Amino acid sequence: MAGYRGQLGCVVMGALLVITGAVLIPVVWNAVKHSLMSKLMVLEPSSMVYSIWKEPPFIIYWRFYFFDVANPAEVVEGAKPSLAHKGPYVYRLEMHRQNLTLNSNSTISNMPVYSYFFEPGMSVGPESDSFTAVNVPYVTVAHMLDWLPKEAKEALSLLLDGMHEHLFKTLTVRELLWGYEDEVLKIASRFFTIPGMPGGKFGFLVDQNGSAHDDFTVFSGKEVRSRINLIQRWNGNDKLTWWLTPEANMINGTDGVMFHSFVTEKDTLYLFQPTLCRSMPYVFDHHKTVRGVPLSSFYLPPTVYQNGSVYPPNAGFCDVKTEDCGPSGQMRVDKCRFGVPTSISNPHFLYGDKSLIDGVYGLAPDPNKHKNYFSVQPILGVTFELKFRLQLNLYLKQVAGFSDTEKLIPVYLPMLWFEQSFEANDWMVNTYASHVGTPTLICQIGEYIMIGVGAVVIVLSLAFLIRRYKRKQSDEAEPLLSDANPSTNYTDNENEANVFPSNQETVPVL
């Protein structure tokens, strides 16, 4: 009986090991992870992620691709633009935050500073490479003065012709990005102010190298962990003012360096950058592993650049009934670009309306090259991989009175697109391994060992119990078998007695 109880106790012990391995260890480790993340993932000087946020340790590369207009004279006469795709021209981007202020309401005010360094070894050519590009100041002035009488515009057009200023211009990479003095802007600045084009200069990144322009206030995550790095205010404002609805004007998300910990597939992660003029929603795409680190990849869905007639939630960014919103696949941003008729889109109008792609020659949208995504480590919420891709387009239309625009066919003309990219460095990978990866692996191994040992104990104990039960059954069955046929036993004994009589008379010997 004692042996039976001992083996039954082994079964119970094995079951407890299995339950502990399958349930208790994951529950305890999950609680430990949440406690650990609450200490690690907070923006305060003593935390691990503060240094990552303040001065990211990874190298960010900006790859610029320019569209060279091959037939400018024909375009002026009404032909479809033919574009040649040239690039990349690569810059190394270094970023740090200055004017840091820890506020009493668990927020941090800061001003990001971006510095760009040209990488000739990674580029197809020097910064002095030149292209035929649309003359943005010329188009801007033509659009802004479209309300003038035709005679006034014709006079201005003659003036521009005399200055050799036309719809297209040959410019270098350096001029297109970092700015050049433009005669059109100098003249226009005498009559009205053109914001975003300081000192009569134009460039896509004019005055952006090594200087701070934007003041952000973000949540530290100290009080509410899920709010870490969420933008509370931008340049003192808690909302935008360009769009038509409160939802469109909301400042949602982070700058992309990090999000909240324990990211799930159901989450929508928002990214806000002033260059985008809005908050961009990223949705889950797939799981992946980079350098042994499990990541969750989120991408910018096609609906982001669809206009309100196709995707009603976007109606707040442009009223299709009263505004020229253009086809789906791009978003007009004139309102936040000082009236310059520009739009943003995926490179090569990926996921865009066919009319956008067919409006010019030379485009070839490819998700593998032009998709916009980033990948986060879901437990930490830190971005480990980035492929942020954006295209800038200029809307060309007929403006009566300006000789170079009177015959134009309306077109969204791509000017350039760029890719911001980085991958986690050794320090980030090692930090993940020491704080999350290795402890998780140890717990998983312990879990499997306990489940395995428990299962073996249960199987062996049950085997012994079954064997013991069968032996007991066999022992109990033996006496029953010996008494099963009493009549047969009796007959056999009787026959034996007949053959060998035991009570015969003894015959005396004479």
> pLDDT value at position 173?
97
> pLDDT value at position 186?
76
Q: For residue 452, is it within any domain?
A: no
Q: Is the pLDDT of residue 127 over 90?
A: yes
Q: For residue 48, is it within any domain?
A: no
91, 121 Cβ separation under 8 angstroms: no
Pairing of strands 382-396, 411-423: antiparallel
445 class by beta-carbon count within 10 Å (0-12 exposed, 13-18 middle, 19+ buried): exposed
Q: What is the mean pLDDT of residues 106-134?
A: 97
How many Å apart are CA 48 and CA 59, to the nearest integer?
19
Q: What percent of the chain is modeled with pLDDT above 90? A: 56
Number of compact structural domains in the chain: 1
Q: Is the pLDDT of residue 422 over 70?
A: yes
Query: How many C-beta atoms lie closer than 10 Å to residue 504's C-beta?
Result: 7
Q: For residue 508, is it within any domain?
A: no
Which of the residue ranges 268-282, 368-382, 415-429, 447-461 would you say has the lowest mean pLDDT?
Answer: 447-461
Q: For residue 199, is it within any domain?
A: yes
Cα Rg of the chain (Å, integer):
39
Its domain, for residue 107, covers 58-424
How many Å apart are CA 431 and CA 334, to the nearest integer?
43
Q: What is the mean pLDDT of residues 93-116?
A: 95
Q: Is the pLDDT of residue 244 over 50?
A: yes
Q: Is the pLDDT of residue 502 over 50?
A: no
Q: Is the pLDDT of residue 14 over 60?
A: no
Burial 231-254 (b: 16+ CB within 10 A, else e): bbebeeeeebeebbeeebbbbbbb
Best-predicted range by mean pLDDT among 87-101, 145-159, 189-203, 318-332?
Answer: 87-101
Question: Is the model more confident about 500 or about 183?
Answer: 183
Q: Give CA torsion, residues 222, 227, 233, 239, to 10 deg.
A: -150
Backbone angles phi, psi at 393, to 5 degrees: -125, 150
> pLDDT value at position 498?
47
> pLDDT value at position 58?
86
Helix (H) or strand (E) holding 316: none
pLDDT band at 509 (very low <50, low <70, confident <90, very high): very low
Tell me the pLDDT tens digit for each residue of 138-190: 998 888 888 888 888 888 888 888 888 899 999 999 999 999 988 878 776 77
Q: For residue 276, is it within any domain?
A: yes
Tell me the pLDDT tens digit for each residue of 292-322: 899 999 999 999 999 998 999 999 999 877 7
Q: For residue 488, is it within any domain?
A: no
pLDDT band at 109 (very low <50, low <70, confident <90, very high): very high
Q: For residue 164, is it within any domain?
A: yes
Q: For residue 312, is it within any domain?
A: yes
Mean pLDDT of the chain: 84
